[in-house]
Structure 1
Amino acid sequence: MPNTAATQAARLSVAPMMDWTDRHCRYLHRLLSCQTLLYTEMVTAPALVRGGALHLLEHHKTEHPVALQLGGSDPAELAQAARLGSQAGYDEINLNVGCPSDRVQSGCFGAVLMEQPALVARCVAEMRAAVDVEVTVKCRIGVDDQDPEVVLPEFLAQIVAAGCTRVAIHARKAWLQGLSPKENRDIPPLDYALVMRMKEYFPNLHISINGGITSLAEAEALLASGLDGVMVGRAAYHQPADILCQADRRIFGAGPDTSAEDAVCAMLSYIENHLVQGGKLNQITRHMLGLFAGRPGARLWRRSLSEGAAKPGAGPELVQAALNAVTAAAQVHASAV
């Protein structure tokens, strides 16, 4: 397995999530963890190659290690898109073979590609030939009526033969017929045992497991079972401090722990710069709503940002005031205990 910065960081990663893991979200997550691997939202190869949408590749220098996830099914076009991503400075290029949305299916990429492992292998091979950074795959265990016990080993064998050395497996099937993308995140049952067997079958393949992981303790247990990495999705977005503030110490052995409060303070200058450039406050604060989840003042924090960030003239002082309110709520709670 390559000993790249991205591979080392893949011991814990935040999953690529459409409409969520944009550059503002990743900047926040990096403040909470220096080590964790971060992923972009899926960017389609046609948007980059045919549409010239290079603004989709924008990211902050502090985000590294950071991976670009691509969607597509044309090997040559994906190779071009991978080259653009590499030139933009990404540490890894990831191919989406897991997204079940109708829009993705109609474009013949995402989870529907589980039915075409030979095509995925060609895509991986051409992407690898185009770039020096690592090319990885994120997939499901199967789709629709496929038997994962048969399909997944064959799929992995083909992409490994094409040169893929690292894969993230969402441990659920995707039902392309009959379930919405949202339902596909919850209804198909998880099969962690199958993913663990894949590690036995492919000992030299770096395997990260994804799906249903809601705590750092769960991540630690999965790593202890012999898997190489854990990819956390919604929990890392909705409760980022719970997943990321202790991750550097507990997962990577390279502390110190961080805090939500310090991250908020560090975000203030970032917010100011974004506003100066014509951005809107809620483009950033929408990713910060879960920072104090489960803590005294969390509801007040969410309400302050949700209601105030869209108002004309709202700026970092709103965020500072909300933080002050959380601090005061924590002090009241501590004195009452």
Structure 2
Amino acid sequence: MSGTTFERGDPMYAVRLHEFGPAENLSYEEVADPVPEAGQVLIKVEAAGVHLLDTALRAGTAGGGPVAPPVLPTIPGREVAGRVAGVGPGVDESWVGKRVVVHLGPVPGGYAELAVAKVESLYEIPEHLEAATAVATIGTGRTAMGILQQAALGADDVVVITAAAGGMGSLFVQAARNAGALVVGLAGGAEKVKRVAELGAQVAIDYTATNWPEQVKAGLDGREVTVVLDGVGGENGQRAFELLGIGGRLLMFGWSGGGPVQLTTEDLMNRGLTATWAIGPKLMRKLRALEAAALQESIEGRWSPLLTTYPLAKAADGHRALENRETVGKVVLIP
């Protein structure tokens, strides 16, 4: 099978990065259509995900991370959903026309009207699942699922979620609620707090208030915090850690607020705590299974990711807003 070609008269547009630096360096340009090679498909993109890592790669500050800095010029983006428009040599032509979502892995190219992906990485998605929701689930959702599997939340838990209005945080709120736990969602600003409460957090608190730990304690009516899911670190992550009761467990997955939570073996011993770095190599070995499990949550309606969308041409605005914490949920670009 030699593959099928995709012909169109309109020029293709994509977002390109020619020089590392600020969000303004992202340029919306006319580019040549990508051509699927052997084992690849061509996707007409309906939604492209923006990850916080994308902003570090763009800025040139992601050295030593899980993804190598790109060779410039590049089209950023590693999460896309859309419809298969063509296939490369050796790929079954029955894929053409199917709606799919895919994580491109370390290879960028998602911020575009057309993208290529390996056929073995595809997931077919039903018509009722919005492309933006699928994109929010395939990348952010797979990491969230990996953390949740380690957390093993139950009905007896009291869960504090930092950055609960973020891409992963909003999924944690819903998963903890579905498990029957008492959910404490921390978010910055009244609007984000409102969204967290709407997701099901029984206690939704604005962490910009200096006395937010006291507000949390008041909302728990004597119950102790059993789990902290923390991706912000810094002062607020530290204060959330201090709320953990005897035998509690801390799962860390980032420090966007300024450095990881500081703890000692004495902390663990004196309070009987457990602490886990919940991402990294332990998740990399089972990404495919985590992607499938996360997608199933969205397909069946148990997860409804929060979204902030921008036109593809405004990718720079999306990056800037994400860096300034002006977004809720997952940032998604729409061609």
Q: Please, what TM-score do these two structures have when normalized by structure 1?
A: 0.29
Compare the two structures and name the one with the higher helix fraction: 1
Higher RCO (CA-CA < 8 Å; seq separation 6+): 2
Q: Please, what TM-score do these two structures have when normalized by structure 2?
A: 0.29
Compare the two structures and name the one with the higher strand fraction: 2
